[in-house]
A and B are shown apart, each in its own frame.
Chain A
Amino acid sequence: MTTKRKEIAIACLLIMALAGCMKAMPPEKPALPTETVEPEKPTPPSPRLVASLQLTEQGRRLLEQGKTDNAIRVLEQAISLYPDNGQNYYYLAEAWLKKEVASEAKKFNQLAEMHLKDNTEWMNRVAQQANRIAELEK
């Protein structure tokens, strides 16, 4: 042990002895963690997601063609396959908007919002959709 280190050690012991005579002092508090939700690591798309996206696209096309009930059926299949794919909820809300059932559209729009929260572009679309639902509700 070097002399300098011995000095540090003695100083520490002294501090400890003094600390025993004093009211316990809380240690310096670390700053409160600021992160809210731990970002999830990007993972390669699973086969289920890939298959689900095929159905999502199919559902979207059916919606475009005006085959709303068919689109709902396909999008529900897509949800069965991969329930975390928020686009399915978005298009389901779109389908119910087309059927002018605001209450159903609203439920799916909220689910879309929950699942697409990390995607700014999609969140804009979800917000616009919410406005259209609100319009329908009036």
Chain B
Amino acid sequence: MSIYIRRVSHHATSVISLIALLVFLPLFLLAIGKTVTLISKATGTAANIVIDTTSQLEPIKTDFYHAFAQGGEENNDMIASIIGDVKALKPKYIRIDHLYDYYNVVGKNGDTLTFDWTRLDAYINSIGSTGAKPVLALSYMPSVIAKDGNIINPPNNWDEWALVVQKTIEHYSGKGERNMPGVIYEVWNEPDLAQFGSWKMGGDKNYLTLYRYASIGANNAKNVNPFSLGGPSTTGLYKSWIMGLVNSGNRVNFFSWHSYLTDPKRFATDQRNIIDWLLPYPTYVLLPKFITEFGFTGAKSKGYGGTFGSAHAAAVIRQLISGGPTYLFSFQLKDGPLQSDGTGWGLITNDDNGLKKKPRYFLYNFLDAMAGTRLQLSGEGTWVTGFSSKKEDTIRLLLVNFDGNGNHAEAVPVTFANLDSGDYDLKQRFLVGRETKTTISVTEASFTTTISMPAQSVLLLELIKKN
């Protein structure tokens, strides 16, 4: 056997090395990235919940999350077929958009604008039947006044846009017409999104101009009940848009934005940010703040069909339970058609898929049990968060295990400190899950238990003193 060694030139070696580098370097970097992602997903802090049952904080608000939005996936009254189910959600407000492009409201006779409210009125009537007040996103530009007839363009004549807004407000808030108090008018919907016009804070498609003429129309409305006008209804909370409105000098009764964020803590960060921006503006800092759409992603996702969506919503509400927005609008009430794959945003499936309720539908009334005075709670973790309340002789704890990246399950130690001695009923109720009840005896002023929290679960635990 002989070994033949062929000498290769330096040039060839260099070329081979370069090719190897080009092939393997991206793979190496990809592997590093994946490893970091996996490690970061897996690392976090486990919860160790301690509730001081004698330390009472502020009253808990349970109204703010009873607000819902319905997108325009069908150009008809999407609520009509689910009025009973929506009414059971005890909605305070229901928001809709596409006012002027779906319901043939605005026409033109020569140079005169004409208004036909018949179809939109039917939709507003359905909203009213649920017990909610409407939030009307003044959108989109009526084609009869829009440049090139395009509903995401500015109007040919801004005065006509002001008139459309004026007539809308006079129709729904007018004492001589629908006579509805407390209607909220939001100027446009997601103006920064290309789909809805790519409006900017300047230039040819200036949102501030769109808003200014809406404000003029609102101010021109005669004989109307109190109503609110605001915006900018952007796809996220953006400082330039909020401060643009503040500095515009126009009528602003509220600030609104949408939040599609997987991390629930980002919702609390947004609240801190907007207050920080507005603190130097005393006449604006207290104005209502509406998150007029929220979810974990703006894209359609099967997560909305299962417990991922309900756990996310619960985790967001936990973040906003103190210092949250005036209203948090869940998007949306009903799926659009042809979404039987379960990717729709709805709390209820579409008529073509049996109007079935998804887990998120059951969350809102489930959370209402937490009404009372908030108790001091410590030891929340990366995935398991919660808040506690006391009402009369019942102490309650809401726990949420939300893992935006995987399927993290956790056994959570829970301690109720400074309890009165005696016997208690301990009830555990999972959202769309099992319910248990036991009796415990407290002798040393505290009670500790371990709760098994499956991935994407929401638990209500009640401790009721027995007489």
User: Are A and B subunits of one complex?
Assistant: no
